[in-house]
Homo-oligomer: A and B are copies of this chain.
Amino acid sequence: MLRTARMAASANAEGSLLPIDTILVGDCIKHMNALPAGSVDLVFADPPYNLQLDQGLTRPDQSRVDGVDDAWDKFDSFAHYDIFTRAWLKAARRILKPDGAIWVIGSYHNIFRVGAALQDLDYWLLNDVIWRKANPMPNFRGTRFTNAHETLIWAAKDRDSRVTFNYEQMKQANDDVQMRSDWLFPICTGAERLKDDDDEKLHPTQKPEALLYRVISATTKPGDVVLDPFFGTGTTGAVAKKLGRHFIGIEREDTYIAGALKRIASIRPLSAATIETAVPKRSAPRVAFGSLVEMGLITPGTELYDDRQRWSALVRADGSLVSGDHMGSIHRVGALVQGAEACNGWTFWHARQGSRLAPIDDFRSQVRAQMERLSA
């Protein structure tokens, strides 16, 4: 019998078969195998690291470093670790939707085995992402470089998956340049770090919420289901709830579950308005150039130019263009005059507006705004 620790405050209103907003108690492979196939949007996993710290590490002042030596982090060999890794990755892949994706975080002790396993199991790697720690633990012995980062792998269920990636959102958050594969965050300390009754850290490797915030907001939509098979103290659940996503956590240790339940219960979801994001151009309603002509925003007979006025074309009544011998759609004629394979006519062609040239895309924006107003 598989145990469940349900969040009182988040009963599953949709009546889905999925144990939404719930922590499942026990082995993650068994629990995942009991879930319906193709039902989860994203898996985020922070598996045990197979750290081989067989002797204690001491700081220069002889104080002990509290290394990761819990029983769950011991594996006899790489072979055992590989068997474990492939088993849970396979179970995770089964429950992912066809367009689902997975994130796995690790360090050099385990991430190479995880990455190879992902490839062997026909996941399709999308990015490896570096979490650069603003405040890593120094290398006390001075024998290596400060181990100042961890690696995340983002992979699709398979090569054909069309995964969620909120590109525009990431770009806007990053001062209007593409978000890179190296992310800078402090490690989890202070008030965010969960403590036990003795004021010791409750979990040895609690991840910062900022890291999950970026993962979840970049690669899920509001309402999506995120499953974390190594839930620990529930950072994934806390951030999912905050961002209006659902979570499923799986965890074996009762002390972690107790901490996670309390933590998540105290989270207040952000309002729908703040979570809502701009509609990317890709999914904006389609507006044909011909309708601009029909609506009178562009008059037949108007001359269009590229931004440097190397080429021009005439707008015909049916919304097609003519330029010399070339005729066709705005895209086709734009490509033909340049001798290019393809062309986005919306940004290539411009119309005179007073003394300056305005891209015809501006007219389309007007139409779209008008349509939004009318439908609202």
Contacts and interface: CB of A to CB of B under 8 A. Distances in A.
A143 B128 contact: no
Nearest to A281: B142
Interface string A322-333: 000101111110
B126 A285 contact: no
A274 B317 contact: yes
Q: State the 10 A-B residue pairs at the shortest beta-carbon distance, nearest first.
A: A173-B290, A112-B115, A173-B319, A135-B374, A148-B180, A108-B128, A274-B300, A210-B294, A134-B371, A172-B320
B374 A148 contact: no
A288 to B, nearest CB: 4
Contacts of A273: 301, 314, 316
Interface of A: 58, 62, 78, 107-109, 111-116, 118-120, 125-130, 132, 134-136, 138-139, 142-149, 151, 153-154, 165-176, 178-182, 184-186, 209-210, 213-214, 217-218, 243, 270-271, 273-278, 285-291, 293-296, 300-301, 314-320, 325, 327-332, 338, 340-343, 369-371, 374-375
B149 A318 contact: no
A130 B128 CA distance: 11
Given A119-B113, A178-B138, A300-B274, A291 B184 contact: yes
Contacts of A214: 290, 294
Contacts of A119: 78, 112-113
A362 to B, nearest CB: 14
Given A125-B108, A290-B174, A148 B340 contact: no
B317 A217 contact: yes
**Secondary structure type dominating chain A contacts:** mixed
A351 to B, nearest CB: 15
A154 to B, nearest CB: 8
B116 A145 contact: no
Given A58-B341, A145-B127, A149-B181, A277 B173 contact: no
A274 B296 contact: no
Contact of A176 (B151, B182, B332): B332
A274 to B, nearest CB: 4
